[in-house]
Structure 1
Amino acid sequence: MIIQSLLGVVLLHLWQCGASSIMTKDLKVLVSSNDFPESALKILQEHFTVLQCKYLNFDEEGRTLAREELLNLIPGCSALVWSSNLPISKELLDKAGPQLKQVSTVSAGYNHCNPDELKARGIKLTNTPNVLAPAVAEIAVGLMLGAARRFTENLDQVRRGQWEIGFDKVLGQDLRGSTVGIIGLGGIGQAVVKRLVGFEVARFIYTGHREKPEGKALGAEFVNLDTLLSQSDFILLSAPLTDETRHMINETTLAKMKKNAILVNVGRGDLVEQEALYNALKNKQIYAAGLDVTTPEPLPKDHKLLTLPNLFVLPHIGSATVRTRREMAELAANNVVNGLTGKPLITPVQLK
């Protein structure tokens, strides 16, 4: 009798699991781009009916071919996995219909996801904030070294076959003994501090809305923005883009920096007013800059910033490692699984 009862419980559980699977298979999830990793796609396919755009949702292809296909595919979808740097349009959300419950962006930043519109429609938003911190931190350190050691000028020498030989030629600056100031001591900022310890940096300072216990644990000192700008040899931007932080680096704030200051941006392009940065670099008001993010992206090849020898630019590759992009996609997929099956979201964005 006991065995029969236990068997009945097991069979009921199996039936419920099967029924749950059938129920979630009725839900449609749209993946916005054709380059979404297979491992993450399988996570979604285990639970839902998955639609995937056959085009790359970036640049011109994303603005034309992918846009039209996404508008055709999204009606009736319950979730949208957004693998793109293009903005989510009101038109796309209108096409989706009222059953769209969640947008899962495969990125840490989410300003391109139209958060105000999502909030107004009651659509939940998730992102992938912490999983990419190590890879972006490595790029931040690379940009510091590239700008400080004048990689742009030195690579140009190699390409021209005309090396400036001499004991005092093309000298750079040291991370050793420097003061590194971090604007935005979140996961990326903290990961940068951990990686720079081995470079014998003399002092880490940071600014933000409040002092953080993580900063104290890392030996970083909390200061106001003016102090950070005036005392730092390296200034790292790893803050999110908001109305408050947009163009926070401008003519006024650049004027407060040291003449040997090196500015590094791995946040968002619009944290920096680029005309002011161009003038500061051209006039040697600051020493150099390293950018992984710009406005626009891609930066046109004839953009005047690219004429500057003291600017080192990368094409927004902060999270571009095989492991990191896979983990980002899998986190985005698991956020959708949780969101559509009534479980707590793993990395929800609090829409204000």
Structure 2
Amino acid sequence: MDKLKVLVTDPIDREGLKSLEKHQNIDLHYEINPSSDKLEKALKGVGAWLVRSETQVTGEWMKKAESLRLIGRAGVGVDNIDIQAATLRGIAVINSPSANTIAACEHTLGLMLALSRNIPQADADVKSGNWQRTKWMGTELQGKTLGIVGLGRIGREVAKRALGFGMRVLAMDPFISHEQAKELGVELAELKRLLGQSDFVTLHAPASDKTRYLINKDSISWFKPGARLINCARGELIEEAALVQAIESERLAGAALDVFEKEPLRADSALRKLSQVILTPHLGASTQEAQSKVASELSESVIAFHERGIALNALNLPGFDADTLKSLGEFLNLAETLGRFLGQIIDSGIKEFICSFQGDFKPSQRRPLFVASLKGLLSTMLAQGVTYIS
């Protein structure tokens, strides 16, 4: 097996990267926050490039990294990576979606508690010399309704803990069935109903064209009067000007935000002047444990890519999430081997490729198996290396 050269250009927890350092067929290099000249030199022969959010991985840099086959983001957001350019060049883009789940979940709950009991405001007031118990009267979570927009990994963990507080939980997620929601102990609801019945609303949806400004002037009018809003997901989900207006008019009792439309938050942002709003500087994943988990998860993905050619959690290869691939076991290798075998015995061109399944394979498992078998087939016919992306 050839050695894989891995380049790290952003600060990533080195303890979590130890498995890469120890791997006999991986050559790990660090070039943290390099200049353009140093980066160009460092990218020569690099097969995997690991970053956080500081390094801008553009199409131009990909052209200069001729051996590049994998880009890994230590974290979730990939705004700094040109995924389209990577896909066109057959480069897999992966992230670490589950490593910061607990950290983001706990930060959400922390903000909700701080919001309900006015903890930051009371702390600042006491430190300024005051003692005003009645001014900071709060509200309990028990018996209240929490609306969760987005029931992915983080949303589900928040739901579990909210149920532990004795809250009723409503959730909106187009990819969750009523049966799944029932198993989690939550009730599915459309956005308008969720906002209208919830005392607290927390956002855990991804940023997309469909979700941009999900919370805007119109949707804020659907909120239950006096409700409180928490956002530890993506800043683009909220139209900040509309939120400021809702707080100032007392339509909403308060908000707690960890993410913003533009970061860092502008010094003159109206949000900074609202005492009913709690602000934190994008701390959702900022725990020692999460940073180590992010690096460890990314290391595991790099090793799986090098040893098995599998890009776990590839963002430009839908259906190849880690859980699905783990459930397939050796069937993925078998599918690719069968594809190679087919490529070696056919003696004509290919007009159509059909993959048939025998056995109990879920729909989510069939796409990876189809792609694996097609990869095996094409690898026997094309001189250029075939990847799962290409």
TM bucket by the smaller chain?
0.7 to 0.9
**1:290: how far off?**
0.8
**1:220: how far off?**
0.6
**1:351: how far off?**
4.4
**1:159: how far off?**
2.9
Match of 1:76 in 2: 45
Provide the secondary structure at the position in 1 that maps to 2:308.
Answer: coil
Match of 1:206 in 2: 171
- Aligned partners of 1:106 and 1:128 also within 8 Å: yes
- Aligned partners of 1:151 and 1:312 also within 8 Å: no
Matches within 5 A, 1:54-69: 54-55=32-33, 69=38
Provide the secondary structure at the position in 1 that maps to 2:157.
Answer: helix
**1:178: how far off?**
0.8
Match of 1:279 in 2: 245
Taking the aligned partners of 1:78 and 1:143, their CA distance within structure 2 comes to 41
Matches within 5 A, 1:294-333: 294-333=260-299
The letter of the residue matching 2:81 is C
Match of 1:147 in 2: 115
Taking the aligned partners of 1:71 and 1:143, their CA distance within structure 2 comes to 42
Is residue 66 of structure 2 the alignment partner of residue 91 of structure 1?
no
Taking the aligned partners of 2:98 and 2:51, their CA distance within structure 1 comes to 17
Matches within 5 A, 1:123-202: 123-166=91-134, 169-201=135-167
Is residue 254 of structure 2 the alignment partner of residue 254 of structure 1?
no
Taking the aligned partners of 1:196 and 1:40, their CA distance within structure 2 comes to 31
**1:172: how far off?**
2.0
Matches within 5 A, 1:220-259: 220-259=186-225
**1:232: how far off?**
1.0
Taking the aligned partners of 2:153 and 2:75, their CA distance within structure 1 comes to 13
Match of 2:30 in 1: 52
- Aligned partners of 2:204 and 2:231 also within 8 Å: yes
Taking the aligned partners of 1:173 and 1:95, their CA distance within structure 2 comes to 57
Provide the secondary structure at the position in 2 that maps to 1:341.
Answer: helix
Taking the aligned partners of 2:312 and 2:227, their CA distance within structure 1 comes to 38
The letter of the residue matching 2:31 is C
Deviations 1:55-95 (A, max 9, x none): 3xxxxxxxxx5566434422331111122256432332233
Match of 1:43 in 2: 19
The letter of the residue matching 1:164 is Q
- Aligned partners of 1:111 and 1:242 also within 8 Å: no
Q: Which runs of 5+ in 2 are unaligned?
A: 319-390
- Aligned partners of 2:150 and 2:203 also within 8 Å: yes
Taking the aligned partners of 1:195 and 1:70, their CA distance within structure 2 comes to 44
Taking the aligned partners of 2:247 and 2:298, their CA distance within structure 1 comes to 39
Taking the aligned partners of 1:276 and 1:86, their CA distance within structure 2 comes to 32
Provide the secondary structure at the position in 2 that maps to 1:39.
Answer: coil
Tell which deviates more after alignment, 99-108 or 76-85. 76-85
Taking the aligned partners of 2:55 and 2:122, their CA distance within structure 1 comes to 34
Deviations 1:246-279 (A, max 9, x none): 1111111112111211111111111111111111
Instruction: Compute the RMSD of aligned alpha carbons.
Output: 2.0
Match of 1:118 in 2: 86
**1:158: how far off?**
2.2
- Aligned partners of 1:237 and 1:265 also within 8 Å: yes
Distance of aligned partners of 1:172 and 1:85 in 2 relative to their CA distance in 1, 3 Å threshold: farther
**1:350: how far off?**
4.3
User: Normalized against structure 1, the TM-score is what?
Assistant: 0.83
Provide the secondary structure at the position in 2 that maps to 1:146.
Answer: helix
Q: Percent identity?
A: 31
Taking the aligned partners of 1:174 and 1:143, their CA distance within structure 2 comes to 14
Taking the aligned partners of 1:271 and 1:179, their CA distance within structure 2 comes to 21
Provide the secondary structure at the position in 1 that maps to 2:72.
Answer: strand
- Aligned partners of 1:147 and 1:290 also within 8 Å: yes
Deviations 1:137-175 (A, max 9, x none): 110001111122223422330231123244xx2222221
- Aligned partners of 2:117 and 2:137 also within 8 Å: yes
Provide the secondary structure at the position in 1 that maps to 2:39.
Answer: helix
**1:204: how far off?**
0.7
User: Normalized against structure 2, the TM-score is what?
Assistant: 0.75
Distance of aligned partners of 1:214 and 1:240 in 2 relative to their CA distance in 1, 3 Å threshold: same
- Aligned partners of 1:241 and 1:270 also within 8 Å: yes
Q: Which runs of 5+ in 1 are unaligned?
A: 1-19, 56-64
How many pairs does the alignment contain?
315
